[in-house]
Structure 1
């Protein structure tokens, strides 16, 4: 009599597959490491992409997730799904990614909101709002806040006058303030 494989049996197989990979990796099997990374890389990358503003940041964070996993691998105890543990690492790294930034785009030049007190969702909302700005305003915001350039330097880079840089900066902040207040 043939036994049908049910949903629960399939899930147990997947867990056993992880356990097998982990045992092989602990014995130094590099092909098992490669298989493990390939198995989970795209899921972790998608997770990081949803929580960061750029593809490059998401890729860097995904690499860091696996580096952290393998750097503490000798003490890793497998209690179920390795994927869940990778998501935990990714979540912490994404939060840390925003905390490391020095400043958040402020509502005026003297105000700089520290990221430690700002939720990841608010940071993502702001990043999206910046991306939606007209290119002329977006350039000024990015150079001023994200690159830390002074107004005179921005003027030289964009080949526009200092008053126009100040005007664009003020306009961009006004638009961002209105968009963010509308979301609240």
Structure 2
């Protein structure tokens, strides 16, 4: 169902429409929060906070652009608040619950290396890379979410990718 229609139904008091909207975007928001924090528990908590904030202020929402971008603005702000309140300590990924299959382990190991390399970037570059490559957003959408110009967003993307490439080639992420 189209977001605009869902929003109209929610504002008319249809709580089922809110459930549909949450289910539609839950995985994307969780994925973003996880990549920002590299901690599944914290990411789940932050994702819940995003949707609690959405449900609290949904009647104030004014349709401008894509609703998905609006949600990512909330998620970005909540992740930034998390780091402001708790510092920038990022916990390691718990590998104990992962099945011991070679291919899965190698894939997980590569994923962990990439997450650590991402975590080494400044937040402004990390956000742009996560939104571009993990959420498949266009530069224009990312600039709306981050509040930066398109030129600045492109610059942050290039700088972030250059740093990632350098860190991954040198092995500086550990």
- Please give the TM-score of this superposition, normalised by the length of structure 1: 0.48
- Residue 18 of structure 1 deviates from its aligned partner by 0.7
1:124 is aligned to 2:109: no
| Number of the residue aligned with 1:48 | 33
CA–CA separation in structure 2 for the residues paired with 1:44 and 1:81: 15
- Residue 31 of structure 1 deviates from its aligned partner by 1.1
- Correspondence list, 1:1-184, <5 A: 17-102=2-87, 124-125=119-120, 182=172
Residues 68 and 122 of structure 1: CA distance in aligned 2, closer, same or farther (over 3 Å): farther
* Structure 1 unmatched ranges of 5 or more: 1-13, 106-120, 127-181
* Structure 2 unmatched ranges of 5 or more: 91-115, 122-171
* CA distances 1:23-74 after superposition (whole Å, capped 9, x unpaired): 0000111110110000010111111110003101001111111111121112
Higher relative contact order (CA 8 A, sep 6+): 2
CA–CA separation in structure 1 for the residues paired with 2:86 and 2:117: 14
- Residue 102 of structure 1 deviates from its aligned partner by 4.9
CA–CA separation in structure 2 for the residues paired with 1:42 and 1:103: 24
CA–CA separation in structure 2 for the residues paired with 1:35 and 1:68: 16
Residues 98 and 122 of structure 1: CA distance in aligned 2, closer, same or farther (over 3 Å): farther
Q: Report runs of 4+ in structure 1 exceeding 6 Å deviation.
A: none
CA RMSD of aligned residues (A): 2.7
- Please give the TM-score of this superposition, normalised by the length of structure 2: 0.50
